[in-house]
Amino acid sequence: ATPTALMVGTGRGAQLGILIKGPEVLESTRKVDTIVLDKTGTVTTGRMTLLAVHTGDNAEESEVLRLAGALEHASEHPIARAVAEGALEKLGSLPTPEDFANVPGLGVQGVVDGHAVLVGREQLLAMGVPPLERSREWGRAMELPASLAHAKSEAEAAGRTAIAVAWDGEARAVLEVADAVKETSPEAIRRLRDLGLTPILLTGDNRAVAESVAREVGIAPEHVIAEVLPQDKADVVKRLQGEGRSVAMVGDGVNDAAALAQADLGLAMGTGTDAAIEAGDLTLVRGDLRVAADAIRLSRRTLGTIR
Ligand code: ADP
Ligand code: MG
């Protein structure tokens, strides 16, 4: 009866929009007691919009949009898309960067119209980042002037993500972007809890934004792990496993594929990247987080049939 039960399980899974990598996956669903949820693209839609541009007295809004928009146009990050789209809407066209590099979990750097440009977290400005070939003056730490630091904390208190823009060695603007929580997320988290799982929100974004999303979906502030760099997300999963937890992880593969692979049970959002689908044990085809709970319930039930 074993192979039949598995086939029924996976067949029903396909109907629900769940792809299961192999029968051995089912076993891990029984043990998991903790579920780590990546914020951007998993709990939130990942479709961000540019809401505001705050400029310092050393920059014009149109130049901020031109330089930041051009650089972000070369990146696939949801924040980058929001900035590029916002800039294109205002300006109609954008120059092509002469040089570009992605700094995972922090932002982007490059050269636009001869200017050495940085767009991303404040930490990226503080790092001064290593030189790109055609840039002039990297390696110098920059900080936000008081007016921009103020705009940044106001934005974050309102649950928005604040992105810094700098060029030629000076911080010049703060961009506000925001992303909406998926309508289905609060219910998904309730269902996961009903299965006895502890939901944990994991993100590279800042604490204030992360806590505001957590509040909206019903995750306690002590279960928010924020400001985690992409390469450290897998370590967070490892640390939770070290505490004796059996960990499921849901992600879209943008900066979290290694964590998906590290988890006892990796669930990939089908709306995410190919890297997610490769790293995951289960794929949620429609990107609906409620299906994560369905997937775990279904495979536990399938196991029940087998035993
Ligand atoms: P999450 O963990 O929520 O999926 P990421 O790890 O992808 O987020 O990114 C963490 C943070 O790094 C973002 O909140 C943003 O502040 C910054 N960042 C990453 N990529 C970019 C980019 N292309 N442009 C601007 N900021 C970025
Ligand atoms: Mg992400």
Please tell me whether residues 75 and 128 are part of one structural domain: yes
Question: Is the CB of 39 within 6 Å of ligand 1?
Answer: yes
Last residue of a domain, one of 164, 179, 194: 179
Q: For residue 60, give both structure tokens.
A: 């014009």
Beta bridge partners of 102: 108
Residues 6 or more apart whose CB falls under 8 angstroms from that of 92 comprise none
- 59 burial via Cβ count (<10 Å: 0-12, 13-18, 19+): buried
Q: Measured in angstroms, how far is the CA atom of residue 204 from the centroid of ligand 2?
A: 8
Q: For residue 51, give both structure tokens.
A: 């809401």
Please tell me whether residues 60 and 169 are part of one structural domain: yes
Please tell me whether residues 53 and 174 are part of one structural domain: yes
Question: Is the CB of 204 within 6 Å of ligand 1?
Answer: yes
Return the SS3 of 228.
coil
- Please identify every residue whose CB atom is under 5 Å from ligand 2, which is an ion: 38, 40-41, 254
Q: List the domain range (segments joined by +) for residue 134.
A: 47-179
Q: Which one of 33, 38, 205, 252 is the catalytic residue?
A: 38
Please tell me whether residues 33 and 139 are part of one structural domain: no
Rounded to whole angstroms, the Cα distance separating 5 from 9 reads 6
Last residue of a domain, one of 179, 202, 222: 179
Tokens 């629900």 correspond to 16
Q: Furthest-apart CA pair in the chain: how many Å?
A: 73
Give catalytic status of residue 38 as yes or no.
Answer: yes
Nearest atom (ligand 1) to Cα of 103? 20
Please tell me whether residues 87 and 121 are part of one structural domain: yes
Please tell me whether residues 51 and 172 are part of one structural domain: yes
- 101 burial via Cβ count (<10 Å: 0-12, 13-18, 19+): middle
Rounded to whole angstroms, the Cα distance separating 154 from 227 reads 18
Please tell me whether residues 296 and 188 are part of one structural domain: yes
Segment holding 3, helix H or strand E: helix 2-16
Please tell me whether residues 174 and 213 are part of one structural domain: no
Last residue of a domain, one of 147, 179, 211: 179
Please tell me whether residues 37 and 74 are part of one structural domain: no
Count the domains in the chain. Answer: 2
Please tell me whether residues 34 and 15 are part of one structural domain: yes
CATH value at residue 26: 3.40.50.1000
Q: Measured in angstroms, how far is the CA atom of residue 226 from the centroid of ligand 1?
A: 11
Q: For residue 200, give both structure tokens.
A: 């944990």
- Contact, 174 vs 144, CB < 8 A? yes
Q: Measured in angstroms, how far is the CA atom of residue 180 from the centroid of ligand 2?
A: 14
Task: Give the ipTM of the model, two decimals please.
Answer: 0.93
pTM of the full structure: 0.82
Please tell me whether residues 235 and 187 are part of one structural domain: yes
CATH value at residue 133: 3.40.1110.10
Would you tell me how many other CB atoms lie within 10 Å of the CB of residue 253? 23
Q: What is the pLDDT along the chain (307 residues), one digit of tens a residue?
A: 355 555 556 677 778 888 888 878 888 888 999 999 999 989 999 889 999 999 999 999 999 999 999 999 999 888 999 999 999 999 999 999 999 999 988 999 999 999 999 999 999 999 877 777 666 556 678 999 999 999 999 999 888 999 999 998 899 999 999 998 999 999 999 999 999 999 999 999 989 999 999 999 999 999 999 999 988 999 999 999 999 999 999 998 888 899 999 999 999 998 878 888 888 998 998 888 999 999 899 888 877 765 5
Residues 6 or more apart whose CB falls under 8 angstroms from that of 51 comprise 160, 176, 177, 178
